[in-house]
Structure 1
Amino acid sequence: MKTFRRSGAALALALLTAFGTGACTLGGAAAGGYAGNKLTNGSAVGTVGGAVAGGVAGYELSK
């Protein structure tokens, strides 16, 4: 199950990178994914949700 969580987070980060949204977005997604993982005790939904929230915050900060 751990590999599924990691691959889901990696997929989310790869999609953000593929769309070329910038380094702030990628950094925000990575930090958000890590925080979401730790705050939800390794939940896949928490990891992906954190990555999405971090990516949005990074995107907004880069404008």
Structure 2
Amino acid sequence: MKTRLWIAAATAASVMTLAGCAGTGPNQQLGAAGGAVGGALVGQAIGHNTAATVGGAAIGGLIGNEVGRNADQRNYNRGYYPNNSYYPNNGPRY
């Protein structure tokens, strides 16, 4: 029963993490993915079990997501993305 609970929790966390990344900038997506991987590695090193790995991935993903979002917002405010676009070389030039 405990295993099923952890699997359900991990699945729910994964779905929420992926849904939170929809429509975001490239740094936010990269930060969430990198944070989840790094958090999973740290969680496994500290706890040596699946629960610690899943918890570390969730926490790392959230932290990486916020760091990437801040980087995207900073780049947007500095004007690195013209015409409110993350990909300045695509589309018509004005």
TM-score normalised to the size of structure 1?
A: 0.67
Structure with higher RCO (Cα < 8 A, 6+ apart): 1
Deviation at 1:33, TM superposition (A): 0.2
Question: Which structure shows the bigger proportion of residues in helix conformation?
Answer: 1
Aligned length: 54
User: Is 1:53 the counterpart of 2:29 in the alignment?
Assistant: no
Query: Which consecutive unaligned segments of at least 5 residues does structure 2 have?
Result: 1-6, 22-28, 70-94
**RMSD of equivalent CA atoms:** 2.3
Identity of aligned residues (%): 31
- TM-score computed with the length of structure 2 as normaliser: 0.47
- After TM superposition, the structure 1 = structure 2 runs for residues 9-24 of structure 1, keeping only pairs within 5 Å, are 15=15, 16=17, 18-19=18-19, 21=21, 22-24=29-31
Structure 1 runs, 4 residues or longer, greater than 3 Å off:
none
- List gaps (5 residues or longer) in structure 1: 1-7
